[in-house]
A and B are shown apart, each in its own frame.
Chain A
Amino acid sequence: MASKGLADRLYLGEANLNIVGRRKMWFGIFGALLLIAIGSFALRGFELGIEFAGGTQFVIPASVGTQAEAQSAVGRAVETAGVAEAAGIGAAQQVGKGGDAVYTVRTAALSQDESTAVKNALVADLKVSPDDISDNRVSAAWGDQVTQQALLGLGIFLVLVLGYLVVRFEWRMAVAAVMSLLIDLVLTAGVYSLVGFEVTPSTVIGFLTILGFSLYDVVVVFDKVQENTRGITGGTTQTYSEATNLAVNQTLMRSINTGLVALLPVGGLLFIGAGLLGAGSLKDLGLVLFVGMGLGVASSILFAAPMLAELKDREPRIKSHNARVLARRSAARSGDVARTDRARSGGAGESEEAPALAGSTPRPGARPAAKRGTTRSGGAGNRPSGGQKRR
């Protein structure tokens, strides 16, 4: 079994990665990332798209050519006028039909001088009369109210989901799950702020999609944790952290799989959106989803589970249980071996924190000991938590 590669061990949920044991490190890393993200909000802010910030709209007669030509003409004019760094260019749109048809092209907000310069450049470029081209300020289409209401919705959702998770799991799990969700959201926003990706309505929509997805992963992990730790205080084989780590390892493949399966289509979007089309909704959505979902998978494993273990270890019941387990282990180490754990043979994967305890600590990758254990009375062959019992 020691000869099995990582892939095989992952496949069988026996990767033995000590994740929960290193929680201080993960908290440190996530804490630092959060600080960077929040610092970036404060210092750099966000690069808001035309839909949020408003812009300048140029109206060009349709006689100049196709929609795409009009758009690239404005692009050239913006460069000629020397305001390129400030001006993102929206997609051209044809208004009206027949001889009166015009194209409208929006750029980021320009000052009066800048927009006159662009207009002049357009006139020179397209060889039309100055009267044919007009420029106008346009307001944001996505008003503050949309953002406010979306944030309000987010707040209500967080409260509700907290309540749901308290009922479905328990309050510590609920807190850890919601914290992990918040971290996802803040870090995703942080990536946008730091890199300076433009924030468009598509970005916001994608951002909200992360909500459900991020919790999905956490629920999968916590479900397993709950299963593994049911009745844990009845025995003395595992501390809560170890049981949690076991659950993480058992669900690791699941998390990687779900993450991959969800990220593959997003990757397709991103590839097509950014690679073939250059810009637009597809790229915006693909990007935010890719970043957010990736972080979601990572934080459900690396943050939510360690955070849960941290919170649970403070619970008096679990605290005394942990103490009992450790006491028993030290007794075992001193030679008074009461019961040899029946974890499957193979020496790989001791927990780093307690290398000397190899004999009695179930390897993180092992099945819950109770399964074939003799101490539990759950009925032969029953997993510690039969689904039927919960229904």
Chain B
Amino acid sequence: MHPGRQLAVLGLLFVILYSLVFFGPGAEGSFTDRLQPKLGLDLIGGTQATYVASLESNGKPPPPGNMEEARKIIDQRVNALGVSEAEVVIEGNTNIVVSVAGQADDQLKNVGQAAQMRFRKVLKAAGDNAAVAVNPPTANPSASAAPNPSAGATPKASTTAGPKVSAKPSGGAGGQGGGERAPSPSASAPAAAPSAPAPAPSTSAAAPAPVTADIKEQRAAIEKKVGATAWAAAEKLTAPVDLQTDPTAGLQFKAFSTLTGDEVNALTPEMQFNVPTISCEQLDKRPNGAIDAIDKQVVACQSGAKMFLDVAKVVGTDIDSATPQLDQQQGQWVVSLEFTSDGQKKWTALTREAFQPAADDPCLTAAQALSTGATHCLVAVVLDKEVISAPEIQGVLSGQSQITGQFDAKSAKELADQITYGALPVTFRADATQSVSATLGKKQLQAGLLAAAIGMGLVAIYAFFYYRLLGTVIFLSLLLSGMLTFGALVVLGRTTGFTLTLAGIAGFIVSLGVAADSFVIYFERLKDEIHEGRSARAAVPRAWVRARRTIISANTITIMAAVVLYIVSIGAVKGFAFALGLSTILDLVVVFLFRHPIMTMFANTKAFMSPRVSGLGRAMKQRVSTDVKEA
């Protein structure tokens, strides 16, 4: 290729890179703002989020092993966000503190999420009529006297209740489910207290009483709060109150609409589902982990509909891997799931159950209520407290399956990451995020840049001393790789969240030194060729061919190291690998598109061989003198 053409390609690269820097996505503000790379936590500070673990049911903090496990998972999640160089530590016994560079409140919102994945068949469904129930459109006091008896016709649902339910399974009246209906133990733990100024939690803080007693106490407190009549009426309910036939039927349960999330959580799932005045909003306020229990039936909401869900027959640990995918036909994002071999069996069984429901299974009714014309049951995909989607099962699924929902590229990836990295063994409550300052600050940054300047200066001096005018080529290429690296950093900081820490800066300084190495290899080759008596014009291409081979081999090894470390490792090492790969590739770009053409052009000038100019003449002179001797 003509040297001019290579230089033109390099120029084009430069123009593209720097137009991205100044006018690309994310470029805002003044001239200097646009030139700002994304600096790391140690240099400019950032955001710190604290996640407080819920205490165990006995009032003790979670075991250290679980906390460390949770720390690792959160660490992976943070890194998967593309935030490099985040710091995740356990503070004290119950806090996990996540610090990331820059403003990142949004990004940190969900990393403390438990991510308990549950697949539950939808058994019953009802609209969220709380608003109507509390304020019926037409007041009709006479109707409020009795609960609507016609609605309580379907006691079948509870026959599928979890195996541990010891109370009469079909009992529409009194003591339904008993204490065993407590949702997951962590939900009732006192650590949830700060969000619930209600009287209930205070009782459990002192005594590590069994959950059942704790729940009973809470229920007693609630009974007092809503009034005995309402409580008794609610306990008698076996199906959602039919507000269409009697709009005022919900009025007697009005007090239930004032319950806090914790209090709602203490109720039996049947009550949560049947009492019309308990809104989805209240259900959503239940503490984290409220519906995690695998062997319990639970109530959850999706787009304004209350759903009564079966025990979880397939859970997150049954999933081997999850990947976000763009469904080509539908044009929407889905999360594709690979089950473990055991999990696949369970999943196939669950889908068969939903696809061909037993005649007496209420799920078909629920399916038809939720989506008109449904001929098969729905299976709800539940993540923590949220129903991600509840699709109708269209067949017995024995292979890869997909979760559809309202995903975009980002949320699909987030869900896939959460499933892949697993659920947290501890439930957390997010505390307020705070800003944190830099640990090193300006002084260290300046010192780092000063070190860079000194280092580069020394290299330049050495190059000029040793290679004379050829030192200019070295110096120019270093400058060039410096500018390319910088531009790439700015762009990558915006697009992939790559942050530059002090260690990163040091790494790039070192990589510039290593880049200068490839010159030494080239020039020494050139020296050899001239030493052997070739003219500059002949020596340059020959030296190039040989040096190129060495340079490519050496850089291949470095790139290999970078790629392997990037794929395998996590955390700071991953960030390092990225930087290493980037600087090596840029080195190759400069070698091929700048140094070689420049040298080719340089070789055509007369000054090239002058000892004073290039430093190569010395080799030539020796050669001449030895030849003379030999002759």
Contacts and interface: CB of A to CB of B under 8 A. Distances in A.
Interface of A: 1, 11-13, 54, 57, 67, 90-97, 136-143, 145-146, 149-150, 152-154, 156-157, 160-161, 164, 168, 201-202, 204-205, 208-209, 211-213, 215-216, 219-220, 223, 227, 250-251, 253-254, 257-258, 260-269, 271-273, 276-277, 280-282, 285-286, 289, 344-345, 367, 371, 381, 383, 387-388, 390-391
B565 A150 contact: yes
Contacts of A253: 524
Contacts, number: 271
B447 A273 contact: yes
Nearest to B87: A141
Interface string B433-448: 0111111110110011
Contacts of B516: 261-262
A335 B454 CA distance: 60
Nearest to A156: B564
Question: Does more than half of chain A's interface fall in helix, strand or loop, or is it mixed?
Answer: helix
Residue with the greatest number of chain A CB neighbours at <10 A, chosen from B444, B506, B569: B506
A388 B91 CA distance: 62
A281 B501 contact: yes
A330 B502 CA distance: 62
A390 B512 CA distance: 29
B560 A95 contact: no
Interface stretch (B29-37, B232-240, B547-555): B547-555
Nearest to B533: A381
B572 A257 contact: no
Contacts of B584: 212
Contact of B580 (A201, A212, A344, A390): A212
Contacts of A156: 564, 568
Contact of A268 (B45, B90, B452, B562): B452
Interface string B478-520: 0000000000000000000000011100110110111011011
B565 A208 contact: yes
B573 interface: yes
Interface string B415-444: 000000000000000000011111111011
Contacts of A282: 444, 447-448, 451, 502, 506
14 contacts: A91-B42, A95-B437, A150-B565, A153-B569, A161-B560, A209-B510, A209-B576, A220-B521, A250-B528, A261-B463, A265-B513, A281-B502, A281-B503, A391-B545
Interface string B36-50: 000000100100100
Nearest to A50: B89
A339 B162 CA distance: 98
B28 interface: no
Nearest to B534: A381
Contact of A219 (B91, B550, B561): B550
Nearest to B629: A345
Contacts of B528: 13, 250
B53 to A, nearest CB: 13
Interface in B582-631: 584, 618-619, 622, 626, 629-630
A323 to B, nearest CB: 31
Interface in B59-106: 67-68, 71-72, 75, 87-92, 97
A269 B451 contact: yes
A264 B455 contact: yes
B556 interface: yes
Please tell me the size bucket of the interface on B.
Answer: 35 or more
Contacts of A93: 45, 436-439
A253 B506 CA distance: 26
B466 interface: yes
Contact of B520 (A201, A258, A391): A258
A209 B514 CA distance: 10
Contacts of A280: 440, 444, 502
A258 B517 contact: yes
Interface in B9-45: 42, 45
**Across the A-B interface, the 10 shortest Cβ-Cβ residue pairs:** A265-B455, A268-B455, A94-B437, A212-B558, A139-B90, A387-B545, A153-B568, A91-B439, A272-B451, A268-B454
Nearest to A71: B439
Contacts of A1: 626, 629
B571 interface: yes
A67 B514 contact: no
A340 to B, nearest CB: 12
Contacts of A164: 556-557, 560
Given A138-B91, A208-B565, A268-B451, A12 B531 contact: yes
A371 B531 CA distance: 12
B573 A208 contact: yes
B456 interface: yes
B547 to A, nearest CB: 9
A251 to B, nearest CB: 8
Nearest to B96: A139
B459 A265 contact: yes
A92 B466 CA distance: 45
Given A153-B565, A157-B565, A211-B561, A271 B454 contact: yes
A66 B570 CA distance: 34
B570 A137 contact: no
Contacts of B216: none
Given A215-B558, A266-B510, 7 more contacts: A11-B618, A67-B437, A97-B435, A136-B92, A137-B91, A138-B89, A157-B561
A344 B624 CA distance: 12
Contacts of A250: 528
B281 interface: no
Contact of B440 (A91, A96, A215): A91
B546 A269 contact: no
B550 A220 contact: yes
Contact of B564 (A160, A215, A285): A160
Given A91-B439, A272-B450, A280-B444, A141 B89 contact: yes
